[in-house]
Amino acid sequence: MSSVARLTAAAAAAGVVAAAIALPAVGGTGAMFVSASEDLGIKPEDLKEPPLAEKTTVLDANGNQIAQFYEEYRETITLDQVAPIMKTAIISIEDFRFYEHGAIDIEGTIRALAKNFTSGGIAQGGSSITQQYVKQVLLNSATTDEERNAALEASYARKLRELRYAMAVEDKYTKDEILEKYLNIAYFGAHANGIEAAAKRFFGVKASELNLVQAATLAGAVQDPNATDPNLGKAQRKKLLNRRNVVLDRMAELKKITPEEAAEAKEKPLGYKGTPLPGGCEASPYPYFCMYVRNEVLSNKAFGKSAKARSQFLNRGGLTIQTTLDPKMQKAAENAIKKHVFASDNPVASEALVQPGTGQIKAMAASRKYGQNKRKKEMSYNVVADAVHGGGVGFQAGSTFKTFTLLTALKEGMKINDGFSVGSGYRAPYYSTFKNCKGENIGDPTHTVTNDEGGGGFKSLQTGTWGSVNTFFMKLEEHVGLCDTIKTAKSLGIKRSDGLALTEYETFTLGTNEMDPVTVATAYAAIGARGKYCKPMAITKITDRNGKVTNYKPDCKQALDPEVADAAAHILSGVFTQGTMRSVGGIGRPAAGKTGTTDAQATAWFAGFTPDLAGAVSIGDSRGAQKYKLNGVTIGGKYYGSVFGASIPGPIWKDTMLAALKGTPATEFTPINSSRFGGCGSGCQPVDRSDEPRGDDDSDGQLEDVDVADFD
């Protein structure tokens, strides 16, 4: 097309627009009239304005901010929270007649049309601030590539569509309201959406504190925020500096500032600070708990029917999420771990604290810092929780699982002094000795389970638990039934950390399934709550952007007979005085627990509880616990020939509880029902000890396929 033809077409196009629009005779009100031109279809069309994506704020139990989530970093503010110089700068460069024209600046549009026709494309926008707001709304509400492309396409059809929406917007809002909406929706680059986020991201100040140089910089950024994104490098910063100076010149030209002020401002450096975005779990002081909360919202259908809906709810909803985290207890866990395990150690220790009777997670801590830097041994997954909540495969829980066999025995009528005579090795008499929950025979008469230090003789529920005797618990599991033991564990929320089904082998009681501290702590909390199991809980309240409050209550059930739980607590309390924790000692108040060490010290655990607080501590090598066992290792600056549950996890648990419960009145355990569980029934210790068998009936004294399993 020749230049003459282009000019003719431009005039024709301008005539079409002018014919459809009549400007008011008296300006200043922003009013406009649209001619009744049905053929052109230029009439107001209501614009759907979905809520802007806003950041979600996460609070601890005391109401202090601990994290932020967002799809778009934005903080919506009112126009009176924007510095006057910022408003002047953006209007000067984007739409200097904003308060004088209606939905479209006819002069600017005709000028742009002529420029575009002579250039053979869309070289100049000529859009008013109202039209730019419309474009941003269409772009932000687009859910498909087709919708996004339609919002960005360089065509007159798009311009006319925007104009119809702009006319409706001008009818619906005042000029100040439109400017406020525009400043909140505009993208400035560097992942900053809206003027408040941009002011903080670019300069570390609020929008109300912006000065001339800063305001001109941000006003210049909106034209092409990707090309002038100062976060991308020197070339982009140079473009932004040049654009800032264009804004300053335009402000001087419009006499909004003096030429001297413009010249002085142009001498200033860009001043971009790149303030870190205040969001995500890496920026949280409690990253592992933060990850748990994030993944709880994203995985729980209570927060949205689909994954997409839940993601938008969290990252766009402008929520305030109140959580269960107790800063005092969190600090107690962190300090206790730091005392015994260094962040630079290959083995990693982690701990979860859970409140009995509610399931509220009060703390989640680990020896490693959360992050992506492998050289610094940072961890990028949630070692304290299961895979659903950002965790990994977990660590085998060892003898902490013996508690579930103990509970099953008490449920089935055994008394605390009932027991068996056992040897130093155990071998299943038959394949049918153990059956999984499908009724399949999974006993292994070819495999022998041993105790590290002998441990033969008569063992009762009490002494067998206190000494954590493997052969006793294998015999006890045979007596009560493997499937019944598994059902007890499941009733207390036990499930594998990796999300797979629990493995149902005869060594289930020895803790061969991989667990996470949150799951184990919650199971033990149920014993402390007299059998009342409550699912792990991290969120107590959510307030949406409109102030609507949704409260969340504990999800609990009576999983155990309260008297069974009391009897188990009675036995487990002896672990501190007569069992595997006697060298560590108690915490000066009623407490109970169980150590756990897996085969050949691959991992070590301690899980314990009071009526007020429960906790579980694990330690293992994240490079691979079976390959890198806890033998001949230096942890926390101390050398260990072998690490057991009472070596590191037990002391961490003790130090944590002393600090976490400081100032909290001690609560007593409910006394054991002696008439029901006291003494012994059919499994009393033989009077003639010389008649005690020295090993399993099927053992010929030669222990084959020895599995040096856990002895705590």
- Are residues 385 and 242 part of one domain? no
Place of tokens 């002998």: 454
Percent of the chain predicted with pLDDT > 70: 85
Strand partners for 419: 460
Asked if residue 379 belongs to a domain, the reply is yes
Task: Give the pLDDT of residue 46.
Answer: 87
Asked if residue 449 belongs to a domain, the reply is yes
Pick the residue with more confidence: 204 or 156? 204
Report the CATH number at residue 439: 3.40.710.10
Q: Are 103 and 128 in contact (CB under 8 A)?
A: yes
Q: What is the pLDDT of residues 365-383, one digit of tens each?
A: 999 999 878 788 888 899 9
Task: Give the pLDDT of residue 454.
Answer: 58
Of 54-63, 70-79, 535-544, 690-699, least confident by mean pLDDT is: 690-699
Question: What number of CA atoms fall less than 13 Å from residue 688's CA on the CB side?
Answer: 3
Task: Give the pLDDT of residue 712.
Answer: 52
Task: Give the pLDDT of residue 114.
Answer: 56
Q: Are 400 and 605 in contact (CB under 8 A)?
A: yes
Q: Are 594 and 468 in contact (CB under 8 A)?
A: yes
Q: What is the pLDDT of residues 637-654, one digit of tens each?
A: 999 999 999 999 999 999
Place of tokens 């702009």: 166
Q: Is the pLDDT of residue 701 over 50?
A: no
Of 152-161, 214-223, 618-627, least confident by mean pLDDT is: 152-161
Could you give phi then psi for residue 471, rounded to 5 degrees? -65, -35
DSSP string of 357-388, one letter each residue: TT-BEEEEEESSPBSS-TTTT-BSS-TTS-GG
Place of tokens 């309260």: 562
Of 17-21, 46-50, 518-522, 525-529, least confident by mean pLDDT is: 17-21
Classified as helix, coil or strand, 398 is helix
Q: How many domains does the chain have?
A: 2
Task: Give the pLDDT of residue 118.
Answer: 53
CA distance 105 to 83: 25
Asked if residue 40 belongs to a domain, the reply is no
Pick the residue with more confidence: 449 or 453? 449
DSSP state of 575: H
CA distance 160 to 10: 15
Q: Is the pLDDT of residue 225 over 70?
A: yes
With b for 16 or more beta-carbon neighbours within 10 A and e for fewer, the 591-616 pattern comes to bbbbbbbbbebbbbbbbbbbbbbbbb
Q: What is the pTM of this model?
A: 0.78
- Domain boundary residue among 266, 299, 316? 266
Asked if residue 501 belongs to a domain, the reply is yes
- Are residues 366 and 262 part of one domain? no
Distance from CA of residue 367 to its chain's centroid? 18
Could you give phi then psi for residue 123, rounded to 5 degrees? -95, -25
Percent of the chain predicted with pLDDT > 90: 71
Strand partners for 427: 448
The first and second tokens of residue 101, run together, are 């024209």
Asked if residue 88 belongs to a domain, the reply is yes
Q: Is the pLDDT of residue 361 over 60?
A: yes
- Domain boundary residue among 245, 266, 287? 266
Q: What is the pLDDT of residues 90-113, one digit of tens each?
A: 999 999 999 988 766 666 666 555
Q: What is the pLDDT of residues 227-285, one digit of tens each?
A: 999 989 999 999 999 999 999 999 999 999 999 999 999 999 999 999 887 777 888 99
Give the count of beta carbons closer than 10 Å to the beta carbon of residue 574.
Answer: 17
Q: Are 613 and 362 in contact (CB under 8 A)?
A: yes
Q: Is the pLDDT of residue 32 over 60?
A: no
Q: Is the pLDDT of residue 603 over 50?
A: yes
Report the CATH number at residue 247: 1.10.3810.10
497 pLDDT band, cuts 50/70/90, is: very high
Asked if residue 295 belongs to a domain, the reply is no
- Domain boundary residue among 214, 233, 266? 266
- Are β-strands 457-460 and 448-450 bridged in parallel, bridged antiparallel, or unpaired? unpaired
Task: Give the pLDDT of residue 77.
Answer: 95
Asked if residue 397 belongs to a domain, the reply is yes
- H-run or E-run covering 464: helix 461-466
Q: Which bin fits 439, alpha (ψ -120 to 50), beta or left (φ > 0)?
A: left
Question: What number of CA atoms fall less than 13 Å from residue 606's CA on the CB side?
Answer: 31
Nearest to 246 by CA among 53, 131, 89: 89
Task: Give the pLDDT of residue 35.
Answer: 37
Distance from CA of residue 193 to its chain's centroid? 23
Q: What is the pLDDT of residues 122-135, one digit of tens each?
A: 333 458 999 899 98
Pick the residue with more confidence: 451 or 118? 451
315 pLDDT band, cuts 50/70/90, is: confident
CA distance 622 to 383: 9
Strand partners for 370: 379
Q: Please, which residues have CB within 8 angstroms of residue 375's CB and are 6 or more apart in sequence?
A: none
Task: Give the pLDDT of residue 161.
Answer: 81
- Are residues 248 and 125 part of one domain? yes
* Cα-based distances in Å from 358 to 285, 407, 518, 706: 24, 21, 14, 43
Q: Please, which residues have CB within 8 angstroms of residue 648's CB and are 6 or more apart in sequence?
A: 340, 341, 349, 604, 617, 619, 635, 636, 640
Task: Give the pLDDT of residue 162.
Answer: 82
| Cα-Cα-Cα-Cα dihedral sign, residues 648, 284, 386, 561 | positive
Distance from CA of residue 256 to its chain's centroid? 48
- H-run or E-run covering 234: helix 234-253
Nearest to 396 by CA among 202, 159, 98, 599: 599
Of 58-72, 574-588, 656-670, 679-693, least confident by mean pLDDT is: 679-693
151 pLDDT band, cuts 50/70/90, is: low
Task: Give the pLDDT of residue 654.
Answer: 98
Q: What is the mean pLDDT of residues 153-175?
A: 84
Task: Give the pLDDT of residue 665.
Answer: 96
The first and second tokens of residue 30, run together, are 């922003």
Asked if residue 306 belongs to a domain, the reply is no
CA distance 407 to 100: 80
Of 130-134, 195-199, 347-351, 566-570, least confident by mean pLDDT is: 130-134
CA distance 635 to 18: 80
| Cα-Cα-Cα-Cα dihedral sign, residues 73, 79, 85, 86 | positive
Q: What is the pLDDT of residues 85-94, one digit of tens each?
A: 999 999 999 9
Task: Give the pLDDT of residue 706.
Answer: 32
360 pLDDT band, cuts 50/70/90, is: very high
CA distance 262 to 252: 6
Could you give phi then psi for residue 95, rounded to 5 degrees? -170, 75
Q: Please, which residues have CB within 8 angstroms of residue 32's CB and are 6 or more apart in sequence?
A: 21, 22, 23, 24, 101, 102, 103, 104, 167, 170
Task: Give the pLDDT of residue 107.
Answer: 65
Pick the residue with more confidence: 362 or 307? 362
Question: What number of CA atoms fall less than 13 Å from residue 415's CA on the CB side?
Answer: 15
CA distance 573 to 585: 11
73 pLDDT band, cuts 50/70/90, is: confident
- Where in the sequence is the domain holding 636, given as residue range(s)? 362-691
Task: Give the pLDDT of residue 374.
Answer: 79
CA distance 69 to 18: 47
Place of tokens 């910089």: 217
Nearest to 336 by CA among 376, 292, 367: 367
- Are β-strands 56-59 and 320-323 bridged in parallel, bridged antiparallel, or unpaired? parallel
Task: Give the pLDDT of residue 618.
Answer: 97
Task: Give the pLDDT of residue 699.
Answer: 31
Q: Are 616 and 400 in contact (CB under 8 A)?
A: yes
